[in-house]
Amino acid sequence: MMQNAPFGRVVCAMVTPFQADGSIDFKRLESFTDELITSGAQGLLVCGTTGEAPTLSEDERTAQIQCVCNAAASRVPVLANVGSNSTAASVAFAKRIAKLPVDGLMAVVPFYNKPPQEGIYQHFVHIAHASDKPLVLYNIPGRCGINMQAETTLRLAHDVDTIVAIKEASGNIEQIQTIIDNAPAGFSVYSGDDSLTFELAKRGAAGVISTIANIAPARMAHMLVLCEQERFDHAYREHTALLPLMKGLFETANPILVKAALHLLGRSVGGLHLPLIEATPEQKQRLAALLQECGFALQ
């Protein structure tokens, strides 16, 4: 049985639309928020990695989160990423964002400074105590350089009532299964990898915080409905139909190819902030072929 999904089964990790000068295109952000909701996204994550949050100032992130909340108009839950590798900075920003009409906060395992497990535990406890908003943990060793072990995740889940979920992108099925099996009631595991969503949903996870949902939220939602109904053969067919694109979008650093794919589909979201760069012509050519293979019509 799949876990409860407090923020929807398919939470789209949104890209950030930029204008030609690199500033946030708030008008496009409003319309893109509406497009995602009407095309099947059940929740929205603002200012994640896919949204290029590391290249945005706190004022820009605050304005972006406010804009998405306004555009979503309570139709779906909105999560805001507040985490960094500084506990003090994360706590301060969590307090700031908790004043906005967000439905929850997300924070990543501290990156670069590689704290021990007790340091990770204390980091999240301090962020959780900064507000009364539900908090989602985010474990992604490939970006952070360190893995939050299942024991630490479960300790947080049991010790802190407002820690309600984790976005697990370790790729370690055994670790994730341990969390699913031993989590307290009300704590949910979201896949942090689109390509592992089917496997984790089959094992009881709540859903996915998804990159491909910028492009195909309804198809991801349908696959998870089939999992919820335990129609796993049908769900597997839906999964395999999208799998080439799920993998292809990560040929290079995210969100380079997600933005390129949106442009190929006629949905302009502007460029990228350095150090990310535009997709090469060869990457765009391969991406166009993948989109067509997966049933998308190019514009």
Q: Rounded CA gap, 283 and 130, in Å?
A: 43
Dump pLDDT digits (tens) for 156-215: 999 999 999 999 999 999 999 999 999 999 999 999 999 999 999 999 999 999 999 999
pLDDT by residue (tens digit) across 167-177? Answer: 999 999 999 99
Given the residues 133, 138, 190, 259, the one annotated as active site: 138
pLDDT digits 0-9 by tens, 88-141: 999 999 999 999 999 999 999 999 999 999 999 999 999 999 999 999 999 999
String of DSSP letters for 99-129: TSS-SEEEEEPPPSS---HHHHHHHHHHHHT
Residue 299 pLDDT: 87
Residue of 167, 202, 236, 259 marked active site: 167
> What pLDDT sits at residue 230?
96
Per the rule left: phi > 0, alpha: psi between -120 and 50, beta: everything else, 61 is alpha
How far is 122 from 272, CA to CA, in rounded Å?
Answer: 34
Tell me what the pLDDT averaged over the chain comes to. Answer: 97
Looking at residue 247, its pLDDT comes to: 96
**Would residue 138 show up in a list of annotated catalytic residues for this protein?**
yes
How far apart (Å, rounded) are the C-alpha atoms in residues 108 and 55? 16
Question: 2 to each of 162, 190, 229, 230, how far by Cα in Å?
Answer: 21, 11, 9, 9
Measuring CA to CA, how many Å separate 83 from each of 90, 107, 120? Answer: 5, 4, 12
The predicted model gives 27-54 an average pLDDT of: 97
* Nearest in space to 182 (alpha carbons), one of 160, 155, 159: 155
27 is catalytic: no
Question: What are the pLDDT digits (tens) for 53-69?
Answer: 999 999 999 999 999 99
